[in-house]
A and B are shown apart, each in its own frame.
Chain A
Amino acid sequence: MTVLDIHPTTSAVLADPPVRRQRNMGQFLRWLLLFAGGIAMVMPIVYMISTSLKWPHEVYNINLVPDEPTLENYLYVLEDGRFYGWFWNSLLIATLTTVSNLFFDSLVGYTLCKFRFPGRQLVFIAILSTLMIPTEMLVIPWYLMSQSFGWLDSYWGIMFPGMMTAFGTFLMKQFFESVPDDFIEAARIDGLNEFQIWWTVAMPLVKPALAALAIFVFLGNWTAFLWPLVVTNSVEMYTIPVGLSGFGDEVDVAWELIMTGAAISTIPTLVVFLIFQRFIIRGVVMAGLKG
């Protein structure tokens, strides 16, 4: 017994239970606060969906669960027809832009990473320097350009500025660094041409980066507002954000309808996120830190 009294570490062990209890309390409190914060974070989204399921007379009631849930608002908004069109426009534009970025950004990134040719450094710095140019500065010249080429109020007009991005190019270049030159050399000896090497050998090796890029580009184009607002004139050509913005003004105080429109524009990306959660967060970190 005497040993216990002298030995410093064992006396520390004896002192452990209350300390540990205190630590557990701290842990629990930490978790509780984080959980409360997390619930607060999603509240606007939850309220949006909850209100979209309410009858007009219940909208001013702050209860979270509607007394008599209804899909009436969705039927009303969709019957109107415009939201179908805007949804389809956004989906088409975001998809095509994403495909274009995946193709061109990775092709350019690959070329700048794996080829040695005169002008390489110049092209790289030129593309990188466009990161410094804010979109807002280009909106006026793009508008004038669209006007003279007849691109105003067309899909191409909405899409053309985003067909390639310096961010995506830089991201892909970083990831192609990890593809061993030996693989490319071996494919060259096997008689593949350079395009085949890029497409069949290098591209499959950077799939995670391609996925991360796809998420960023798609989300960016799905939610883009300023340029689509400027370049579209007719209601049929609006994207979801532009349509929603005008719709909100039009129905004025019918908040249940506005919330329904907002939900229609938000739910698709939320569903995609909930399915690929782990994957998307990893992609965001990758793109954020490497890009």
Chain B
Amino acid sequence: MSFYRSLSIRHKQIVWAWTFLTVPVLFYVVIRFYPTGNAILISFQDWNLLGERNWAGLDNYIKLWNDPVFWKVFANTFEYLIIGTPFSLVLSFIIAYHLDKTRFLHSTLRMLYFLPFMTSAVAMAWVWRWFYQGVPIGLFNNILASVGISQIDFLNSTTIALPSVLAPAIWAGLGFQVIIFMAGLRAIPTSYYEAAKIDGVGWWTVLTQITLPLLRPTMVFIVVFSSIGFLRIFDHVYNMTTNNPGGPLNSTKPLVLMIYDTAFNGFNMGYAAAQTVVLFLILLVISLAQLRLLRSD
């Protein structure tokens, strides 16, 4: 204690800071950094969890490159992103734009749009799965049947299954994006709009010349946030296709589901680790692109 007393204020601060940080730094090293390195290491090994760990060099990556399932999965993953991101961006902007101009029961409307964000993906995947069933079970097909349109086999068609699985993911995230957009709209100084009003500018010009350009940081945030979400889609796919995960014929299988399958059903740890490294690299590129976009402002 007398040693502590003899320290200057500056040195006492250093002692306190590192006292506070000891446990957290240990946590980040052991639970974040070490496993990251470990995943990369395992990706260069051949290991089925029970047997020996052998060096495999680039074998896992070469295998991945030559695996038609991987390319199918890779394409699916980007399909989730390419449909999901623009769809939810445009939809949430339209809702936020109009909601922002509405006063009557404003917070009730906002609540309705936000509510799905508070649900659990697993629970809602099952609800939507039920919606998609054929007549006489599923809601959507019952509605189609009642207006005389032929049934759609939502979850068993290789073309429609992916958007069907994606729909609840877009639905659940929409409320969050609306709220973020509304905060962005509120942050635009009213003086811009007043000046436009005095100049007698039409609403379309106001929207394209003032609102959208000033919302750019908000849009970049939403695009990156939702892109990362869609690239990591798993809960919805797994639960809507439990009888044949990622099916039919791998048409809905995203990268994370392939990782899960390879590691915990096939116990091919090296191969699965190589897939996680690919996922990491994709997300890294997206994040760096975001930094780029933000910096050019």
A-side residues, CB < 8 A to B, are: 27, 30-31, 33-35, 37-39, 41-42, 44-45, 47-48, 51, 59-60, 62, 104, 107-108, 110-111, 115-120, 123, 126-127, 130, 132-134, 136-145, 160-161, 163-164, 169, 194-195, 198, 219, 222-223, 225-226, 230, 240-242, 244-245, 248-249, 253, 255, 258-259, 261-263, 265-266, 269-270, 272-274, 277-278, 281, 284-285, 288-289
A198 to chain B, nearest CB (A): 8
Task: Sort chain B's interface into a size bin.
Answer: 35 or more
Contact indicator A273/B118 (Cβ below 8 Å): yes
Contacts of B212 in A (CB 8 A): none
Q: Which 7 residue pairs spanning A and B have beta carbons closest together?
A: A38-B112, A141-B35, A262-B123, A223-B120, A241-B122, A137-B276, A141-B38
Contact indicator B115/A270 (Cβ below 8 Å): yes
Contacts of A30 in B (CB 8 A): 98, 101-102
Contact indicator B137/A255 (Cβ below 8 Å): yes
Contacts of B128 in A (CB 8 A): 44
User: With the chains together, A110 CA to B137 CA distance in Å?
Assistant: 54
> Does B206 sit at the interface, judged by CB under 8 A?
no
- The stretch from B18-26, B57-65, B156-164 touching chain A is B18-26
Contact indicator B137/A60 (Cβ below 8 Å): yes
User: With the chains together, A120 CA to B21 CA distance in Å?
Assistant: 10
Contacts of A269 in B (CB 8 A): 118-120
Contacts of B42 in A (CB 8 A): 140-141
Tell me the dominant secondary structure on chain A's binding face: helix
User: With the chains together, A269 CA to B111 CA distance in Å?
Assistant: 14
**Binary flags per residue of B119-138, CB closer than 8 Å to A gives 1, else 0:** 11111101111110100110
User: With the chains together, A253 CA to B279 CA distance in Å?
Assistant: 35
Contacts of A288 in B (CB 8 A): 176, 179-180, 183, 221, 225
Contacts of B10 in A (CB 8 A): 116
> Does B48 sit at the interface, judged by CB under 8 A?
no
Contact indicator A137/B109 (Cβ below 8 Å): no
Contact indicator A62/B13 (Cβ below 8 Å): no
Chain B's closest residue to A105 (CB) is: B24
Contact indicator B111/A139 (Cβ below 8 Å): no
> Does B90 sit at the interface, judged by CB under 8 A?
no
Contacts of A116 in B (CB 8 A): 10, 13
Contact indicator B120/A41 (Cβ below 8 Å): no
- The stretch from B66-74, B190-198, B257-265 touching chain A is B257-265
User: With the chains together, A36 CA to B108 CA distance in Å?
Assistant: 12
> Does B235 sit at the interface, judged by CB under 8 A?
yes
Contact indicator B179/A281 (Cβ below 8 Å): yes
> Does B32 sit at the interface, judged by CB under 8 A?
yes
Contacts of B123 in A (CB 8 A): 48, 241, 244, 261-263, 265-266
**A30, A38, A42: residue with the most chain B Cβ atoms closer than 10 Å:** A38
> Does B113 sit at the interface, judged by CB under 8 A?
yes
**A143, A248, A259: residue with the most chain B Cβ atoms closer than 10 Å:** A248
**Binary flags per residue of B17-50, CB closer than 8 Å to A gives 1, else 0:** 1101101110110011111101100100000000
Contact indicator A31/B119 (Cβ below 8 Å): no
Extra contacts, 4 of them, besides A107-B24, A137-B35, A248-B129 (Cβ < 8 A), are A34-B95, A136-B232, A143-B263, A226-B256
Q: A130-B28, A226-B234 are in contact. Are A60 and B38 (CB under 8 A)?
A: no
A–B Cβ pairs within 8 angstroms, 7 of them: A60-B142, A62-B142, A133-B36, A142-B35, A145-B35, A225-B122, A265-B122
Chain B's closest residue to A243 (CB) is: B122
Contact indicator A44/B171 (Cβ below 8 Å): yes
- The stretch from B81-89, B147-155, B280-288 touching chain A is B280-288
> Does B215 sit at the interface, judged by CB under 8 A?
no
Contact indicator B115/A120 (Cβ below 8 Å): no
Chain B's closest residue to A137 (CB) is: B276
B60 to chain A, nearest CB (A): 12
Q: A37-B95, A37-B113, A253-B137 are in contact. Are A164 and B118 (CB under 8 A)?
A: no
User: With the chains together, A108 CA to B16 CA distance in Å?
Assistant: 12
Q: A34-B102, A48-B127, A164-B24 are in contact. Are A136 and B120 (CB under 8 A)?
A: no
User: With the chains together, A39 CA to B32 CA distance in Å?
Assistant: 42
Contact indicator B113/A248 (Cβ below 8 Å): no
